[in-house]
A and B are shown apart, each in its own frame.
Chain A
Amino acid sequence: MASLITCPHCGSRPKEEFSIRGDALPQRPAAHAPDEAWHAYVYLRDNVKGVIFEHWHHVGGCRRYLVVERDNVSHDVLSVTDAARFRRAAASGQDGVVAAGKDLA
C-alpha cells in the first residue's frame, strides 16, 4: 500500500497514522428495523475483490473519519474523502466524489 496518504484535512501523512475500520458502505438501519436488516448490517459483507470503500480513522492527525477508495488486489489508494462529505454526496446522489454514491442514496 502507498506509504503516504493524502488526508483532506492534514495533507500528505504516513499510512501508520491511520487506523482502518473496515467497509464504509453498510448503512446503520433504523433502531426498529426488522432483525433481517440488522443481521445484514452487522454480519454480512459484499467483500468484493477489487475497488472498495473503507472507513479510516486519522488517529495520529485530525481524528476525523475518512472514506478511502482502495483496490484490495493492487493495494492502490484511489481517493480519500472526509466521511461526512462522502455521506452527504452519496445522499444527494451527486457524483464527482464517489461512484458508490448511488448505492447509498
Chain B
Amino acid sequence: MRYSALDIVRQAFSGNRHWKPVWREPQPKAHYDVIIVGGGGHGLSTAYYLAKEFGITNIAVLEKGYIGSGNVGRNTTIIRSNYLLEGNEPFYEFSMKLWEGLEQDFNYNAMVSQRGVINLFHSDGQRDAYARRGNAMMMHGVDAQLLDREEVRKMMPYLNFDHARFPVLGGLLQKRGGTARHDAVAWGYARGADQRGVDLIQHCEVTGIRRDEAGRVLGVETSKGFIGCNKLALATAGHTSVTGQMAGLRLPIETHVLQAFVSEGLKPVIHNVITYGAGHFYISQSDKGGLVFGADIDYYSSYAQRGNLATVEHTIEEGVSLIPGLSRVKVLRAWGGVMDMSMDGSPIIDRTPIDNLYLNCGWCYGGFKATPASGFCFAHLIAKDEPHYTARFLRLDRFERGLAIDEGGKGPQPNLH
C-alpha cells in the first residue's frame, strides 16, 4: 500500500471507500525462522529491522489482539534521550537518532515532532541533580541545556512559578526530544515489515511454548494451532511474566497499570513537553489540540487496562498545582495500559537460559521512546546472538551480578520506578 497526493483526491471523490488494506492478513505457516510474540511497537520494529537490516524475512509476529491494541497505542507519546547512566544514555540516544530518520526510513508519516522536552526543577538540590544529568548527557554527545527561571518563563508563562512549596526555579531542556504519533509508529513498522514478507498474524494468542527434552524451543501453541520456529522472541510488555512462565522463566518484572488522559481540543498553548519535578506529572498538546497528560502508576499490581479514581484525582491535582489554568479544562478521555515494571526501572534485551528463546521486556512507562532502538537491538541479538553495542548493559542477569541500572536510585521496588 502506497500513498500519493493524487490518491487522496481520487479517494475523496469516491467517498474514501476504495483504500486497500495496509498489510496482508495471512494464515500462519507451519514453521518460521523467527516467531515474535507481541505485535506492539517493539515486536513490530524487531520484525522490521530483522527483515531490513539483518536479512531474515521468514518471520511471524503473533498478536493476541489487533496491531496497536497494547501500550504502543496507549502511551502519552513522549520521546527523549535525557538519561543519566552509562547503561541507558547511549541506548536512548541511538533510539533518538533512529527517530530522527524514521519517517524517511519506513516512508510513513509518524508525526515525529522535536518540540523539546523540559524537566522542571523546584529546589537547589534538584537543580544540581539535573545539572549533573545534563552534563552526563553532553559527555555522550547529547544536547542538554539548563534553563533558569526567566528562560523558562519566556517559554511557558502559564506555569505556577511562585508556588509556595514547589516554585519553578528552572529546567533541563532537551530540544531534540518531543513526541510522535504512537499509532502511526505501529502502522509504519507493520507496513514496512509486511512489505518485506513478514507475516503479521492478529487475533492469535500464544498459550504455550513447546520444548524438546533438551529444553530447546520447538514452537508455540496458539489459538490458531501449533506454529514451529527456530528462534522464539518475546516482546509482550505487560504480559512478559505470563509468556515467560510458559517457558518456566521467573522474571524481575511486576505488572502495573498506568493511566493517561486527553482534554478537549484547545488552541495551541503548550508548545513543548513539560514534566513536573515536584510530582510525576507530564503534559504536551497534540496536533489536534487536546492536552495529553499523565502521572504516576496506580501503585498496585494490575493486569486490567483501567485504573482507579484516586489516581485520576492525584494526576489532576498535580497538573493544577503546576498549571493552575488547567482547572478550567475538561477531560474528554482516560484509559490505562499494563506495563512491565522492572526491578531497577531499566529494560532487558537479552538471551535467556533457554538457548533459542530471546527476551525483550522491562520497559516500565518509558518504552515508547525506545521503540526504534529496542527493535534494532533485539533484531541484532536474534540475528547474531550477541548484544548490540548500545544494549550491552541491558542484561537479564544484571541483578544477580549486582549491576542494576537504577536511574532513580530507588532500589528493587517495581512500583517506584
Residue of B nearest to A22 (CB): B415
Contact B254 A75 (CB under 8 A): no
Given contacts A45-B414, A49-B241, A52-B301, 4 further A-B contacts (CB under 8 A): A23-B301, A45-B254, A49-B239, A72-B303
Is the beta-carbon distance between A47 and B255 smaller than 8 angstroms? yes
Interface pairs (25), CB distance under 8 Å: A1-B300, A15-B310, A20-B300, A22-B415, A23-B301, A40-B250, A43-B343, A43-B412, A45-B250, A45-B252, A45-B254, A45-B414, A46-B245, A47-B241, A47-B253, A47-B254, A47-B301, A49-B239, A49-B255, A72-B255, A72-B304, A73-B302, A73-B304, A75-B302, A75-B304
Q: Which residue of A lies closest to B240 (CB)?
A: A47
Q: Does B299 contact A (CB under 8 A)?
A: yes
**A54 with B301: in contact, given A45-B254, A48-B241 (CB under 8 Å)?**
yes
User: CA A24 – CA B363 in complex, angstroms?
Assistant: 24
Query: Which residues from B are CB-within-8-Å of A73?
Result: 302-304
Q: Is the interface of B mostly helix, strand, loop or mixed?
A: mixed
Q: Is A10 an interface residue (CB 8 A)?
A: no
Residues in A with CB closer than 8 Å to B270 are none
Decide yes or no whether B399 CB sits under 8 A from chain A. yes
Q: How far is the CB of A35 from chain B (nearest CB, A)?
A: 7
Return B300 CB to nearest CB of chain A, in Å.
4
Q: Does A44 interact with chain B (Cβ within 8 Å)?
A: yes
- Dominant secondary structure of chain A at its interface with chain B: mixed
Does B131 make an interface contact (CB < 8 A)? no
A104 to chain B, nearest CB (A): 17
Which B residues lie within 8 Å of A43 (CB)?
A: 252, 343, 399-400, 412
B250 touches A72 (CB 8 A): no
Does A32 belong to the interface (CB within 8 Å)?
no
CB pair A45–B412 under 8 Å, yes or no, is no
Number of chain A residues whose Cβ lies closer than 8 Å to a Cβ of chain B: 25
A16 at the interface (CB under 8 A from B): yes
List which A69-87 residues lie within 8 A (CB) of chain B.
70, 72-75
Chain B residues closer than 8 Å to A42, beta-carbon distance: 343, 399, 412
Q: Which residues of B contact A44 (CB under 8 A)?
A: 250-252
- Would B400 and A39 count as touching, CB distance under 8 A? yes
Query: Which residue in A36, A40, A46, A72 is a CB contact (below 8 Å) of B302?
Result: A72
Across the interface, which residues of B come within 8 angstroms of A74, CB to CB? Answer: 304
Q: Is B242's CB within 8 Å of the partner chain A?
A: yes
Residues 230 to 248 of chain B near chain A (Cβ within 8 Å): 239, 241-242, 245
The smallest C-beta distance from B65 to any residue of chain A, in angstroms, reads: 15
3 pairs of A and B residues whose beta carbons are closest in the complex: A47-B241, A43-B399, A43-B252
Enumerate chain A residues within 8 angstroms of B352, measured Cβ to Cβ.
Answer: none
Residues of A within 8 A of B242 (CB): 49
The smallest beta-carbon distance between A45 and chain B, in angstroms, is 5
Kindly list chain B residues whose C-beta atoms are within 8 Å of the C-beta of A39. Answer: 399-400
The residue on A at minimum CB distance from B400 is A39
CB neighbours of A72 from chain B (8 A)? 255, 300-304
Q: How far is the CB of B92 from chain A (nearest CB, A)?
A: 23
